[in-house]
């Protein structure tokens, strides 16, 4: 299957995606976009809609190495929730430092939502900018709030 690439906006940033079918090969944040298509679910996510990106597969979890175990645990973190490096480490039977290294090397952020992994003492790091992590976490909280508000108004 042919690997396609494209980008879409995420606030002031662009999300660049390389993908084929359900397989995501790479996700990168950049200050400039590239022409091409992006999977519709990623476009919806980047526009602030509550979307479950677990529909996609990631090349980063195709083996059984320690990083793959960590990534599989990180994928279980619900939309709008966070876990600490230590909590993820306990779930993946490794150390918080190794979890941090795995998050820094994550080639498919969003699909493996490393922005949901935070430090016990604060937000933690994020490449290329911690502002993106802050934006993503706030965006998810806003989407959850909208969904809850909408559900309450339907029930009334």
- Distances 138 to 79, 103, 131, 133 between C-alpha atoms, Å: 11, 19, 10, 9
Region 145-156: mean pLDDT is 76
114 labelled catalytic:
yes
Tell me how many domains the chain contains: 1
Tokens of 43: 């476009």
Which of 95-131 are b and which e, b meaning 16 or more Cβ less than 10 Å from the residue's Cβ?
ebebbbebbeebbbbbbbbbbbbbeeeeebebeeeee
Task: Indicate which residue of 42, 60, 102, 114 is catalytic.
Answer: 114
Other beta carbons less than 10 A from residue 50's beta carbon:
15
* Structure confidence at residue 155 as a pLDDT band (50, 70, 90): confident
Find the CATH number of the domain harbouring 46.
Answer: 1.10.10.10
**How far apart are alpha carbons 106 and 103 in whole angstroms?**
5
- pTM for the full predicted model: 0.92
Question: If pLDDT is split at 50, 70 and 90, which confidence band does 127 have?
Answer: confident
Domain coverage including residue 138? 4-155
Q: What is the pLDDT of residues 35-45, one digit of tens each?
A: 999 999 999 99
pLDDT at 8: 98
Helix axes 66-74, 85-92, angle to 10 degrees: 120
């Amino acid at each position: 299957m042919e690997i396609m690439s494209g980008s879409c906006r995420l606030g002031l940033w662009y999300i660049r995606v390389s993908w084929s079918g359900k397989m995501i090969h790479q996700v990168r944040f950049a200050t400039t976009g590239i022409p091409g298509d992006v999977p519709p679910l990623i476009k919806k996510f980047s526009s602030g809609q509550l979307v479950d990106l677990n529909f996609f597969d990631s090349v980063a979890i195709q083996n059984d190495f320690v990083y793959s175990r960590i990534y599989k645990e990180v994928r279980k973190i619900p939309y709008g929730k966070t876990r600490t490096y230590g909590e993820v480490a306990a779930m993946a039977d490794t150390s918080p430092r190794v979890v941090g290294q795995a998050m820094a090397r994550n080639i498919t952020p969003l699909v493996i939502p490393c922005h949901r992994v935070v430090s016990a003492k604060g937000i933690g790091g994020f490449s290329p900018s911690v502002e993106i992590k802050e934006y993503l976490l706030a965006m998810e909280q806003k989407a959850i709030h909208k969904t809850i508000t909408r559900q309450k108004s339907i029930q009334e």
